[in-house]
Amino acid sequence: MPPDLLAYGVRVLPGLLLIGACFALSRAERDPLLRILTLVFGFILIRDAMTPLGFWRLGAAGGVPWLRFTDQAGILLLFALGTVVLTAAVLKLDTGLRSLVRWGRLTPVTLACGIGGGVLAAAPALLLSLPTPLPARGGAVAVTLLPVLLLFSLAGNLAEEVLFRGFLQGRLEQHAGAVRAALSSALLFAACHAFLASTVTDVGWPLLAFTLYEGLICAFLRLRSGVAAAALAHGTAIFLLAGALV
């Protein structure tokens, strides 16, 4: 195992053990909300701990957020595989959570909505960043890395969308209207980036503004077309931002 991955594992393991214990105890609860929140905490830990290890970099140039991932393709593939395996395991083992996920039909219209939603989410940041030279907003990305980066973006954000638009939005819809559940999902999604924006990095409000905007797009895509469309939109947006294509 590469030393940086080993250091990452050592960093997150204590927190994951505590979160795992909380999840195990909450399995007895009929209401899945506590299990959902526990999984959200676990995801935040896994995501935010990538920053000090250099697996990704975030910044803001002229008030516009940018991000870049590590150029080590093997690490990106391991993260992609790991998130897919963990997501599949939760869906298989917890029928209560699985029942909350409305995937939607994977049709050409759904694919178009998902990709279009991703372009719509990324477009303001990409357009506003054009006056800033590429080196000041993360630098170029090797063309050979782009296929791996696309796979990583789709896999990692599938997990995030299952959490926020599958489990959380699905649970909220049981006790609130569909629109209110979508708005709550988007707001909570942005709020869960507060530490990343304010303490883990110094990106600040631009990251929160972007994640709220992106969260609204994904939440209403889920409402219209299901989690699959929302996950495709989220993955597409992150790939466009991280790929330095503009």
pLDDT single digits (tens) 140-162: 999 999 999 999 999 999 999 99
DSSP alpha helix (H) spans, 94-177:
95-98, 108-129, 146-161, 169-173
Over residues 175-204, the mean pLDDT reads 95
Domain ranges of the chain: 3-242
pLDDT tens-digit readout, 196-221 = 999 999 999 999 999 999 999 999 99
Tell me the torsion sign for CA atoms 158, 164, 165, 171.
positive
Half-sphere exposure of 215 (CA within 13 A, CB side): 24
pLDDT band, residue 245 (cuts 50/70/90): confident
Confidence band, pLDDT 50/70/90 cuts, at residue 3: confident
pLDDT tens sequence across 40-56: 999 999 999 999 989 99
Percent of the chain with pLDDT over 70: 100
pTM over 0.75: yes
| 113, 225 Cβ separation under 8 angstroms | yes
Please report which confidence band the pLDDT of residue 116 belongs to, taking 50, 70 and 90 as the band edges.
very high
Residue 4 has a pLDDT of 85
- Quick one: pLDDT at residue 1? 66
